[in-house]
Amino acid sequence: MQKDLEDICLKQDNGADFTFRGRLFSECSWFDEEQNALTRQKLYVTDTNDQVYYIVRKCGQQTTRHAYRLAVSGDNCVINNGKGEMTLQFDMLMQAVRGLCGMDAAEATPSLSSVEEMLRAANA
């Protein structure tokens, strides 16, 4: 049974607030003692089965807010931050994620079908 959907508006620093119909799927937060920064991350699932990632970081008196909408279409991922949009082949996106996570090329990369399966599970 799918959770009830609601109208959501996420404020962003770039002025392009995200408004969509969806539900919160997961969230986490962590504190970086070296930077004295608290980061909160939320993942939403929209009524069109897209995912929206929302990242809020507070360091002292400064707060930053960014949101990204991700839509999977065939072998491509469309990423939108409210001001601009880019389309990447899924393999390129996974390569970038591996690099950002410090993983080398020999480490396993999830297949498009396994990611789509996870996204379907998020929408169940």
Q: pTM of the predicted model, to two decimals?
A: 0.73
Residue 74: domain span = 6-122
Element (H, E) at 114: helix 112-122
Structural domain total, the chain: 1
- Does residue 1 lie in a domain region? no
3-state secondary structure 54-100: EEEEEECCEEEEEEEEEEEECCEEEEECCCCEEEEEHHHHHHHHHHH
**Each residue's pLDDT tens digit, 67-86:** 999 998 888 889 899 999 98
Bridge partners of 39?
30, 57
First and final C-alpha spacing in the chain? 7
Q: If you average pLDDT over residues 5-23, what whole number do you get?
A: 94
Q: If you average pLDDT over residues 92-98, what whole number do you get?
A: 71
Give the angle 83-120-94 at the CA atoms, nearest 5°: 60
- Average pLDDT of the chain to the nearest whole number: 82
- Does residue 12 lie in a domain region? yes
**Each residue's pLDDT tens digit, 31-44:** 999 989 999 999 99
Q: How many Å apart are CA 23 and CA 71, to the nearest integer?
A: 16
- Does residue 34 lie in a domain region? yes
